[in-house]
């Protein structure tokens, strides 16, 4: 049977001797692992029903139902940004299962070798809502002789008239999807302006209603925010949350990035927020950030949920995280206080000292250890410089605590942070943005002029906000007095102690012992940071 004969017979409804595969697409499929998810109204027939109807249709017309292509949670309309092999960036509907089915039809067989002669779907809406994909399907029918049919009679790709009607129907369906997306977007904007929480999973710190606080998690956030303000590194917070058994809303362990997401969310201080996707013009990659929703006058919209932090606390924490969340600042998993800080003082060495446990047969204290220079193979001087670890930790700890106390005394622990000097300029830019939006809404300026002026004002606003964040970070660091550091030190986790030491000391040089045994503090030369 020739391909043309297959198409002709399929048009007559005779599938005798043909192996037909079915395509089942669900935009929103029931998840067996989460019974609370339900199929929405846009999926009138579920996966099993579609497959059963397709199989019955094929077999009732003498054909053999050979395979089912399943597309769960797949949109036939929504486009995503992709990079073509030649480097160009375009937007396409991404449907790998659909595209794979068309390739199988062109070859005439599945990956396992089973012959397929055509494709059946429930209706044209299940096949596609994108004109580009429709043309790909028409190509398979016209040039490869593989019939693509539906069981409701709305799809006919087997004749010229049918293909013309299909193009019109798909274009209409595409517009319906666009209209729906626009209405959904408008609804979300209205909910944002009203401060009503939306979204999928609950945010960490709140209950499933997204309004009332999950008290243990909220207390943890408050406690950790104060620790960050006092100088605790983000890595210490991550370790602490994992050690105390807290997990993300999805039940996963905490990472530095997920903790940042929690603290950078304006929801913490009661502001309604939204996710924003932006494209880097240089790399072409999408980036996501959370921004505050503002009313038409430029004021933050208050959310209809309980806040966890005050606005000044949230601004201070986010500024610190943005400025200080860097590698090598107490975030590592080292188990000794001064590894990475101690340096060998032997001529022409300057290698970092490592910790080495004392041999059990030579000491009575099982916790005894030494800081010693690396072997020559590792770039050191072969262990020529060594110093008792326990006494060194105690001496350096006392010196660092005293340094922070002296700084607190100099500041008198009462210094009020100076206001950001460009607050008035930021207010003027936001006022200009508000006036511009009102002018456009009142149609006193054209759309062309509005969009020509908008980017410059938005750029000014973002630059000022970035400068304010840097100012807040510097202010937060400068006003952290550490007046109670001596009392708090025993309760600090190792990562926080290491971060405070690295904040105060650029390095500690350990000079050779020159034959002296035991610990001698004059061998230590601290290099303080300014």
Instruction: Please report, for the domain that includes residue 103, its CATH number.
Output: 3.40.50.1390
Higher pLDDT residue, 528 or 285? 528
Same domain, 63 and 134: yes
> What pLDDT shows up at residue 29?
36
Same domain, 175 and 202: no
Same domain, 107 and 17: yes
> What pLDDT shows up at residue 331?
45
* The pairing of beta strand 79-83 with beta strand 89-93: antiparallel
Same domain, 9 and 85: yes
Same domain, 232 and 127: no
Higher pLDDT residue, 141 or 46? 141
Instruction: Say if 330 falls within a structural domain.
Output: no
Same domain, 232 and 310: yes
Is residue 357 within 8 A of residue 487, CB to CB? The reply is: no
pLDDT tens by residue, 457-507: 888 887 887 777 767 666 655 555 566 788 888 877 777 788 788 878 889
> What pLDDT shows up at residue 28?
46
At a CB cut-off of 8 Å and minimum separation 6, what does 358 contact? 365, 368, 369, 370
Instruction: Say if 424 falls within a structural domain.
Output: no
Same domain, 42 and 17: yes
Q: Which domain holds residue 216?
A: 198-325
Q: Any idea which of 217-226, 295-304, 342-351, 355-364 has the lowest mean pLDDT?
A: 355-364
Of all residues in the chain, what percent carry a pLDDT higher than 90? Answer: 28
Instruction: Say if 441 falls within a structural domain.
Output: no
Grade residue 510 by pLDDT with cuts at 50, 70 and 90. Answer: very high
At a CB cut-off of 8 Å and minimum separation 6, what does 286 contact? 81, 277, 278, 279, 280
* Measured CA distances, 324 to 224, 309, 330, 417, 488 (Å): 15, 20, 11, 19, 21
Instruction: Tell me the C-alpha distance between 496 and 226, whole Å.
Output: 13
Grade residue 434 by pLDDT with cuts at 50, 70 and 90. Answer: confident
Same domain, 354 and 498: yes
The three-class DSSP label of residue 426 is: helix
Same domain, 319 and 357: no
Same domain, 313 and 390: no
Same domain, 175 and 240: no
Instruction: Say if 261 falls within a structural domain.
Output: yes
Pick the last residue of a domain from 113, 147, 179: 179
At a CB cut-off of 8 Å and minimum separation 6, what does 28 contact? 39, 40, 42, 43, 73
Instruction: Tell me the C-alpha distance between 232 and 226, whole Å.
Output: 9
Q: What is the pTM of this model?
A: 0.49
Helices H / strands E in the chain, number of each: 15, 14
Grade residue 218 by pLDDT with cuts at 50, 70 and 90. Answer: very high
Domain containing residue 286: CATH number: 3.90.1750.20
> What pLDDT shows up at residue 173?
85
* Measured CA distances, 7 to 108, 144, 159, 447, 454 (Å): 14, 10, 9, 51, 55
CA atoms within 13 A on the CB side of 396: 32
Higher pLDDT residue, 29 or 320? 320
Instruction: Say if 8 falls within a structural domain.
Output: yes
At a CB cut-off of 8 Å and minimum separation 6, what does 178 contact? 77
Same domain, 218 and 299: yes
Instruction: Say if 426 falls within a structural domain.
Output: no
Query: Domains in the chain: how many in total?
Result: 3
| pLDDT above 80 for 379 | no
Instruction: Say if 121 falls within a structural domain.
Output: yes
> What pLDDT shows up at residue 333?
45
Instruction: Say if 520 falls within a structural domain.
Output: yes
Pick the last residue of a domain from 281, 298, 325: 325
Read off the tokens for 374: 């690396």
> What pLDDT shows up at residue 43?
46
Is residue 503 within 8 A of residue 231, CB to CB? The reply is: yes
Pick the last residue of a domain from 268, 299, 325: 325
**115, 150, 91: which is closest to 19 by C-alpha?**
115
Q: Any idea which of 64-73, 424-433, 491-500 has the lowest mean pLDDT?
A: 491-500
Mean pLDDT of 316-338: 61
Instruction: Tell me the C-alpha distance between 246 and 253, whole Å.
Output: 8
Q: Which helix (H) or strand (E) holds 524?
A: strand 524-528
């Amino acid at each position: 049977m020739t391909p043309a004969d297959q198409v002709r017979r399929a048009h007559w409804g005779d599938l005798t001797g043909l192996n037909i595969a079915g395509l089942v697409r669900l935009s929103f499929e029931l998840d067996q692992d989460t019974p609370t998810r339900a199929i929405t109204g846009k999926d009138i027939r579920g996966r099993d029903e579609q497959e059963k109807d397709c199989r019955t249709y094929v077999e009732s017309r003498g054909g053999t139902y050979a395979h089912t292509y399943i597309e769960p949670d797949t949109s036939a309309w929504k486009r995503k940004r992709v990079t073509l092999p030649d480097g160009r960036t375009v937007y396409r509907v991404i449907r790998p299962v659909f595209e794979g089915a068309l390739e199988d039809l062109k070859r005439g067989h599945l990956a396992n070798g089973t012959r397929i002669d055509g494709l059946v779907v429930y209706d044209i809406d299940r096949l596609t809502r994108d004109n580009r994909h429709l043309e790909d399907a028409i190509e398979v029918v016209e040039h490869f002789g593989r019939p693509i049919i539906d069981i409701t009679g709305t799809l006919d790709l087997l004749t010229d008239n049918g293909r013309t009607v299909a193009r019109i129907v798909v274009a209409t369906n595409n517009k319906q999807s666009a209209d729906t997306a626009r209405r959904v977007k408008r609804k979300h904007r209205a909910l944002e302006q009203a401060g009503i929480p939306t979204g999928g999973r609950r945010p960490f710190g709140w209950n499933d209603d997204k309004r009332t606080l999950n008290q243990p998690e909220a207390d943890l956030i408050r406690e950790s925010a104060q620790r960050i303000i006092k100088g605790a590194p983000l890595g210490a917070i991550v370790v602490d949350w994992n050690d105390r058994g807290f997990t993300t809303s999805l039940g996963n362990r905490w990472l530095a990035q997920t903790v940042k997401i929690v603290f950078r969310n304006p929801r913490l201080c009661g502001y309604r927020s939204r996710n924003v996707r932006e494209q880097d013009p240089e790399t072409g990659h999408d980036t996501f950030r959370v921004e505050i929703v503002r009313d038409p006058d430029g004021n933050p919209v208050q959310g209809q949920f309980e806040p966890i932090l005050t606005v000044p606390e949230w601004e201070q924490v986010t500024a610190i995280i943005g400025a200080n969340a860097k590698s090598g600042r107490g975030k590592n998993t080292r188990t000794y206080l001064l590894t990475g800080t101690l340096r060998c003082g032997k001529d022409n060495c300057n290698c970092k000292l490592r910790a080495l446990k004392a041999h059990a047969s030579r000491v009575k204290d099982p916790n005894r250890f030494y800081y010693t220079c690396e072997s020559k193979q590792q770039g050191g001087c072969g262990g020529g410089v060594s110093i008792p670890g326990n006494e060194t930790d105690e001496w350096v700890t006392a010196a660092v605590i005293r340094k922070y106390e002296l700084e607190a005394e100099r500041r008198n622990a009462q210094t009020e942070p100076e206001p950001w000097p460009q607050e008035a300029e930021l207010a003027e830019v936001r006022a200009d943005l508000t006036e511009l939006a009102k002018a456009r809404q009142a149609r006193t300026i054209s759309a062309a002029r509005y969009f020509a002026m908008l980017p410059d004002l938005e750029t000014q606003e973002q630059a000022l906000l970035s400068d304010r964040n840097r100012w807040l970070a510097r202010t937060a660091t400068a006003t952290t007095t550490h007046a109670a550091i001596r009392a708090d030190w025993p309760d600090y986790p190792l990562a926080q102690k290491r971060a405070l030491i690295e904040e105060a000391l650029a390095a500690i040089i350990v000079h050779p012992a020159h034959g002296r045994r035991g610990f001698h503090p004059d061998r230590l030369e601290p290099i303080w940071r300014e």
